[in-house]
Amino acid sequence: MKTILIFFCVAIAAMAHQITPEEKERLRQVYLACQADPKTYCDEDLLKKLGENAENKQVGIHMLCMSVNAGLQTKKGDLLKDFIRTRIDMVTHDKSKVDEYLEKCAVLKETPEKTAVQLWLCFIKNDIKYYHKL
């Protein structure tokens, strides 16, 4: 009985730091909307290899669309750090690392598009699973 209780508590704790199904669906809808607009459409193969295609202009345009519509950036490219912090916190097990991840990932680059690409890449590289799929 004690073993079952421990397993149950561990399972609940592990699930508590995952993106909610509602948030995952919201991000999927953001992605679909960005893909539906010819101006922000990007070949999915390029997006699946985001790191290799970080300098691709269309990848940047698409990722900015994602970032803006997900609430992470403004259209001018400013980062919405309070919102980003809540999203990192949502999916991070070690709460002591939230501010570290925020400082590492929420960094303005030369353009809004580069900022968006680097933000999402940083999420991926640091196992911050705030995305619908890759």
In the chain, where the domains are located? 2-125
> What's the pLDDT tens digit per position in 54-78?
999 999 999 999 999 999 999 999 9
Q: What is the CATH number of domain 2-125?
A: 1.10.238.20
Distance from C-alpha of 30 to C-alpha of 33, rounded to nearest angstrom: 5
Q: What is the pLDDT of residues 74-116, one digit of tens each?
A: 999 999 999 999 999 999 999 999 999 999 999 999 999 999 9
Tell which wins on pLDDT, 7 or 125: 125
Return the pLDDT at 19: 85
Cα–Cα distance measured from residue 120 to residue 10, given in angstroms and rounded to the nearest whole number = 29
Q: What is the pLDDT of residue 3?
A: 42
pLDDT(7) > 60: no
